[in-house]
Amino acid sequence: MATPLSADSLLKALRDEGLTVHEVRDWRSHHRDDKGPWGPVNGVMIHHTVTSGTESSVQLCYDGHADLPGPLCHGVIDKKGEIHLVGNGRANHAGIGDSDVLDAVINETELPADNEAEEDGNARFYGFECVNLGDGEDPWPEEQKLAIEKVSAAICRAHGWSERSVIGHLEWQPGKSDPRGFTMNSMRTRVGKRLGAKPDSTEPDSTDETKTAEYVPFPGADFFRDGRDSEIITAMGKRLVAEDCDLYEEGPGPEWTDADKESYAAWQRKLGFSGDDADGIPGEKSWDKLRVPNG
């Protein structure tokens, strides 16, 4: 059992796993805590929305409907693999499920068949709705499945859980079929492999040997995305200014912005790159030549 992550801790865990995360409206204070407890938490539950389209699916999961008020989950995973946080606290997603399944999740043992409905899952599970019609024909893009893997691993990593703390709605509540289109056993295998590796985040920490390097090693193209906040970006910007590739109105600062992208594109062009090779997203060759100082 564990105390639920705070909004800031959840957001950091997801971004540290390399995910693109959108904060929807007042998600930090959007919950159903007045209807029952939120926590202790024991696992992550995966659903499909039975809808299509990101915007409408996110709106539905935030607002709910007449028979079931929102939030209907904590986050929505769209087809591109991006995360939309819609709730923080108790959410109407799991419903009443099998206590034997909950015991197995707590003990991280093999799941029994779900044949009873007696335990309040809304108090015990983080819930993520994935945009999919759930008809067995709507495809699951690899980007979306990778995001499910990363979301699950991020939360398990934060709580010290194994992949056995990740279940599907169909494994919790009799009569449910979600998620339909891949097996939860295959997803747990993916999560287990990811938990055996370091997060995708390339922000060096105090124990990283690269911390003592003279220059910051290339952190990967995915590092440079909306929402990234790092002193590496400040240091990069200062080097761009020194190289007369300064398109900043203010700054540079730690948050990745369009000004950083435009300035870096100027640096790429200065090196002789053009077209898609001068798109403003750092690549290894241009990064190594920029020589961003470490520390």
Higher pLDDT, 218 or 141: 141
Tell me the pLDDT band of 217, cut-offs 50, 70 and 90.
Answer: confident
Q: Quote the pLDDT of residue 286.
A: 93
Q: What is the mean pLDDT of residues 227-240?
A: 90
Alpha-carbon distance 7 to 199, whole Å? 19
Phi, psi of 101 (to 5 degrees): -65, -45
The label of the residue with tokens 């997801």 reads: 14
Question: How is the chain split into domains, by residue range?
Answer: 7-195, 209-290
pLDDT of residue 222: 81
Confidence at 22, pLDDT banded by 50, 70, 90: very high
Q: Is the dihedral of CA 257, 259, 264, 265 positive or negative?
A: positive
pLDDT of residue 209: 38
Mean pLDDT, residues 34-49? 97
Encoded tokens for 104: 């197995």
The whole model's pTM is what?
Answer: 0.69
Q: Going along 11-142, which residue ranges are E strands? A: 21-23, 43-48, 64-65, 68-69, 75-77, 83-85, 96-97, 119-120, 125-130
25-38 average pLDDT score: 97
Amino acid 251: pLDDT: 79
pLDDT of residue 201: 53
Question: Is pLDDT of 49 > 90?
Answer: yes
Instruction: Pick the more confident residue, 136 or 1.
Output: 136
Q: In angstroms, rounded to a whole number, what is the distance separating the alpha carbons of residues 16 and 154?
A: 8
Is it the case that residue 101 has pLDDT exceeding 80?
A: yes
Has domain 7-195 been given CATH number 3.40.30.10?
Answer: no
Give me the amino acid identity at 137: E
Tell me: pLDDT of 205 over 80.
no
Specify the pLDDT at position 198: 64
